[in-house]
Amino acid sequence: MIYLLRRLLMRVGIFAPGLVIYGGGEKYVCKIAEILSREHDVDLITSYVPEREVAEVLKTLENRLNVNLRDVHLKVLAIPGIAKKNSFVNELTKLSKCSKQYDLFINQSRDTLFYQPAHANKNVIIIQVPPANQKTPLFVCAGLKLFADSNLSTYDRIIVYSDFVKKTVEQKYARKAEVLYPPIDIQRERRILKERYILSVGRFFLGGHSKKQLEMIRAFKQLCKEAKLDEAHWEYHLVGGVNERGQLYKRMCEREAEGYPIFFHFNAPHETVKELYSKSTLFWHATGFNEDENRHPERMEHFGIVTAEAMSYGCIPVVVGKGGQPEIVHHGLDGLLWNNIEELKENTLNLIRDRERMARLAKAAIGTSRQFQVDQFEIRVRELLT
């Protein structure tokens, strides 16, 4: 009997390189860790954690992302200030060696550098960022392809967030990818009366798939000047994590917002985010705005967990129509899509002026969000990983 139990209990290692970013990608992988830890021995691995955060990182993940990591262990490959001699490349080599000790190894990659060879009994890679398509020298392309193809061949399965990422990954690597949509926290409690709030949720940072808060702040200011939204008591609330590298962008956004009913909620706990979802009428999201989706798919929203979460609270999404967002929002049925700032403003004003349409779209948004609820995610996790 003991032998059978040992056979059933797997040692699972899950590598999450951006763990202390505390964003949507981290919620995704932490939820996988939570589900697997109910029946297996799970290590959550990251390349490093700032020394001052080591003791608190699991608690912070639970508080910010609404996950249960009570039975999950944190494994840190290196801590800056303690392991200064170890280079980034050495840490990735350590990761490859580390995979040997697990029955199931899951690698959540951010780019091809993280496509490290895996040596567990079963190996799964989560490609969260679609590979870039920009022009590069032929010899560089050939080298990257050889590196990626060789290392990806050690993985039994590729998992992606959305059909948008699936398409780019399969085209790039000629490998089948499986879609595991991210889970969202469905609102089940009595709804709070909606306020005249527009809400955006996303980390504050420049570059990559930036959430474009600065552009949305400017759009809201224009609506205040052109349509007197401020005099009609509309407010714009922005929620998002910000780390040391995001401080400059944070200050830029704060300066741009001065003098307007624009409110920031940095590094807010989950309860605060829930309250804002409950009170907000509209939800804005702009990742991918002013970017070329074909040349830079990595700059799009890969799925859009926060959009789906907002919809579950009856927030009407008014989001950029690129990347994974059109898989969640169906224009005119449960929200609105836009491609330029004028469309964002026009869609917003049209909704504000039509209460009947707002009520209809809000109800439909709640219905759409149900397909992404946690129990559906858990079923799919077990299908793909156990």
> Does any domain span residue 136?
yes
Considering the domain architecture, whether residues 150 and 215 belong to the same structural domain is answered as no
Triad 105, 107, 110: Cα angle to 5°: 175
> Does any domain span residue 377?
no
Q: How remote is the C-alpha of 284 from its chain's centroid?
A: 16
Which value, to the nearest 10 degrees, does the dihedral of the CA atoms of residues 195, 64, 126, 73 take?
A: -160
- Distance, in Å, from the CA atom of 105 to the CA atom of 220, rounded to the nearest integer, reads 45
**What is the CB neighbour count within 10 angstroms for residue 146?**
10
**What is the CB neighbour count within 10 angstroms for residue 327?**
17
- Name the 3-class secondary structure at 197: strand
Instruction: Give the residue numbers spanning the domain of 60.
Output: 2-180
CB 127 within 8 A of CB 158: yes
Residue finishing a domain among 151, 180, 209 = 180
Mean pLDDT to the nearest integer, 278-292: 96
Percent of the chain with pLDDT over 90: 69
Considering the domain architecture, whether residues 52 and 135 belong to the same structural domain is answered as yes
Mean pLDDT to the nearest integer, 244-267: 96
pLDDT value of position 81: 47
Residue finishing a domain among 147, 180, 213 = 180
The residue whose two tokens read 């985010």 is: 273
For the chain, count helices (H), then strands (E). 13, 13
> Does any domain span residue 115?
yes
Residue finishing a domain among 120, 151, 180 = 180
The domain spanning residue 316 has which CATH number? 3.40.50.2000
Considering the domain architecture, whether residues 207 and 153 belong to the same structural domain is answered as no
pLDDT value of position 28: 95
Percent of the chain with pLDDT over 70: 88
Considering the domain architecture, whether residues 149 and 91 belong to the same structural domain is answered as yes
Considering the domain architecture, whether residues 267 and 226 belong to the same structural domain is answered as yes
> Does any domain span residue 59?
yes
Q: Between these two residues, 279 and 83, which has the higher pLDDT value? A: 279
The DSSP-derived string for 31-77 is HHHHHHHTTSEEEEEEEE--GGGTTTHHHHHHHHH----TTEEEEEE
Considering the domain architecture, whether residues 247 and 352 belong to the same structural domain is answered as yes
Considering the entire predicted model, what is its pTM? Answer: 0.84
Considering the domain architecture, whether residues 253 and 306 belong to the same structural domain is answered as yes
> Does any domain span residue 138?
yes
Considering the domain architecture, whether residues 251 and 176 belong to the same structural domain is answered as no
User: Rounded to whole angstroms, what are the CA distances from 72 to 11, 14, 33, 251, 275?
Assistant: 11, 10, 7, 36, 28
**What pairs with residue 264 in β-bridges?**
238
Secondary structure (H, E, C), 111-161: CHHHCCCCCCCEEEEEECCCCCCCCCCHHHHHHHHHHHHHHHCCCCEEEEC
Considering the domain architecture, whether residues 234 and 353 belong to the same structural domain is answered as yes
Mean pLDDT to the nearest integer, 72-97: 68
CB 159 within 8 A of CB 124: yes
- Categorize the per-residue pLDDT at 143 as very low, low, confident or very high, splitting at 50, 70 and 90: low
- Categorize the per-residue pLDDT at 294 as very low, low, confident or very high, splitting at 50, 70 and 90: confident
CB 127 within 8 A of CB 171: no
User: For the ranges 40-44, 135-139, 270-274, which has the lowest average pLDDT?
Assistant: 135-139
> What are 147's two structure tokens?
């590196």
**What pairs with residue 11 in β-bridges?**
41
Q: Does residue 149 carry a pLDDT above 90? A: no
Considering the domain architecture, whether residues 37 and 154 belong to the same structural domain is answered as yes
Mean pLDDT to the nearest integer, 266-277: 94
Q: Which of 52-61, 129-138, 298-307 has the highest mean pLDDT?
A: 298-307
- Distance, in Å, from the CA atom of 206 to the CA atom of 336, rounded to the nearest integer, reads 26
> How many structural domains is the chain composed of?
2
- Distance, in Å, from the CA atom of 193 to the CA atom of 45, rounded to the nearest integer, reads 42
> Does any domain span residue 40?
yes
> Does any domain span residue 125?
yes
What sign does the dihedral 252-256-257-259 (CA atoms) show?
positive
> Does any domain span residue 134?
yes
- Distance, in Å, from the CA atom of 18 to the CA atom of 37, rounded to the nearest integer, reads 20
**What is the CB neighbour count within 10 angstroms for residue 323?**
26
Considering the domain architecture, whether residues 147 and 252 belong to the same structural domain is answered as no
Considering the domain architecture, whether residues 13 and 143 belong to the same structural domain is answered as yes
Mean pLDDT to the nearest integer, 64-80: 86
> What are 163's two structure tokens?
């059909």
